[in-house]
Amino acid sequence: MTPRTTPYEEKRRAATEQRLRAALTARAALVTPHGLRPGMSPHGPARGARRRRAFAFAVLGAAAAVVAVCLLALLPADRPSPVPAPVRPAGPPAVTEPPPPRPATPTPVAPEPLPDTPAVEPS
């Protein structure tokens, strides 16, 4: 279904189309055989640049590999393991009691001397 247009809109559309055709005809008149250039190749003008870029990336990757191998060779061999040690599961909390009091060590008591008594001689 075509939308209904008024005569005014049709006149406007015809005038716009006429001006557009005149502009395109004038532009086409400016084109001469001397202004034309040869057609572009299907791969575009940057084909050589792509080859150089690909070669540069390949050289860059090889250099990175050489640097990585040199670093691995120069680093010490006793590196820590990348795998962490297993963690023991948490046990019940330890009950800490104060240590039992130590018994006082008895100091040796020397026998007290007896009072002076007359010595008894055996008979």
pLDDT of residue 45: 58
> Alpha helices of the chain — where are they, by DSSP H?
7-29, 47-74
- The structure's pTM equals 0.29
Q: Measured between alpha carbons, how far is 64 from 62 in angstroms, rounded to an integer?
A: 5
The confidence score (pLDDT) of residue 58 equals 95
d(CA 19, CA 22): 5
Calpha distance 20→39 (Å, rounded): 27
**Could you list the pLDDT tens digit for every one of the 123 residues in the chain?**
566 778 889 999 999 999 999 999 999 999 888 888 777 666 665 667 778 888 999 999 999 999 999 888 887 666 666 777 778 877 777 777 777 777 777 666 666 766 676 666 666
Predicted pLDDT of residue 26: 95
